[in-house]
Structure 1
Amino acid sequence: MTHETFTGVFPAMTTPFHADESIDFETLRDHAQWLEQRGVDGVVPMGTTGESATLSHDQHVEVIEAVTDAVDDVPVIAGSGSNNTREALDLSERAADAGADGLLLISPYYNKPEPAGMEHHFRQVADAVDLPQIIYNVPSRTGRNIAVESAVTLAEHENIVGYKAASGDMNRITEVIERTREENFEVLSGDDAMTLPIIATGGSGCISVSANVEPARTCALVGAALSGDYERAREYHHELGELFRVLFTESNPIPIKEAMEIRGHYDSGRMRSPLSRATDETLDALHAVLDELDDGTAPEPAEAQR
């Protein structure tokens, strides 16, 4: 079947934990609802920002179920990738059964497959699970880029509808956009600081870390850019620029979870080991940038909508 593609702002959700590192499902549900109320176009649990690497498969599914139950009118794109094709297939099937509306599939990490192996990996999941799927290129974490030719070839599959671009390479990203324009395929920024330039060259939005604390401003930025109002989009881009930078001074999701505690979304920015709490220097920078944003005028959710 032909699926609709994804356009707009999709926060990469964090996973809250209690002091014993068990999942705080009440806070998770509350945050999903808070994001939906502020105009996001969907939510993405169980990606890198959700600390998927330290959750069991059963916990993956429980988080996806909790988020799908919490939101009413926005799609849930569930992270279900792995460097093991059978494991990715199992997680993807279970995510579909849990109610996910789409899947986010990171490219295989550590074992660094060649392009033919990578294409086979993604096709196996796409052939077996009839949900719209976004392939995710983040070589800083996986050790290997998805080849442009592979992305273009995979875009021909009816279930592969998008590409999350987090390589930092605009030449590569632009070529993927150029060569998939005739397909039912969207390129989404996976790096908040590159959302505006990616949309300007034909991208369709972002899977965003910063939207966890600034959903209305992020939606306003993306909405303005998608409507062609680049002057307004630039204003929001520069207003959020320091936040974009501070959120990646330490490994994601360390700074964003600390920011969510500062803003009162979490009672603690706890992470599962081996991630650690942020340094005092990062905390000081987060307080400064969030205070500055709080002193400004954030757009109303209705204004952020496209």
Structure 2
Amino acid sequence: MSTPTTRRTDRGLGPAVVALGGGHGLSATLSSLRLMTDRITAVVTVADDGGSSGRLRDELGVLPPGDLRMALAALCDDSDWGRTWRDVLQHRFASTGDLDQHAVGNLLIVALWELLGDTVEGLDWVGRLLGARGRVLPMTAVPLRIEADVRRPDGTTVVVGGQSAVATTAGSIVQVRLDPAEPPACPEAVAAIDAADWVVLGPGSWYTSVMPHLLVPGLRDALLRTSARIVLTLNLSPEEDGETAGMRAHEYLEVLHDHAPELRIDAVVADPATVDDLETLSERSAQIGARLLLRQVRRGDGTPRHDPLRLAAAYRDVHDGFLGDVGTPADGRG
């Protein structure tokens, strides 16, 4: 059986963009990027161990499909066909039996993996069903476990294991790591980063959705060597509880730098309403060589969610800003 290719439209090509992340944060990025380009590759974390994904992972030994499903749904074709199949993928059963809270898309993805014996090919088939404007890839074909060193309020440090536990931990996360420690990167994901014009990191759960990409050696190496511009999108608000409780805007940059000090960031996108110390954020951005772009990107209803149109406009401003550079940038890449 031949591998399908995802649908491409004729409405302009746009830049080749790779978006890294998982969950609702990655979905927000993809919903925005699809408004400016059809050349999108989503590279998704595969460490989820809760809910429907965790149950399928434990029972069948497969990658957790949930974040992959959400990314595919975000890229569906804007037609009755695409939206209907998106809704089918996102539908969850409500029952008193084993199907309770399983997402249809999770079951479909795992079924294709079993039939085809190939993770990427199975995701491509779902993308074709949706008429997806882009491609969705796992960052590795190996199910991952996240571990974190957490400093408790009493000053002691403990190890917390599992994405669900890390995401809801009480205390300050000092360091995160993966088990296995050096999983092989998905070759198609590495190739996409190598060929990209832009790479977008964030928004999302910083330690469990954004940082894991930098801990996969093949992806990390690709991010260090790529000629693509790398854009960091900051979260709209810290969580009241869990992994980023109390984090300020500039601290997201510091965490990223602590885990990958050699990573080059070209631009930082932040909503001014979420920045409580603009001077410090500006200084931190300048220290890592990044331009800071302040734009209102949250929805107008007051919820801490990104508005696709506003975020797309911010990305276009970043893109146009670099296109409008006069002379040669300090990094010499032009």
TM-score (norm 2): 0.33
TM-score (norm 1): 0.35
Structure (1/2) with the larger strand percentage: 2
Structure (1/2) with the larger helix percentage: 1
Choose 1 or 2 for highest CA Rg: 2
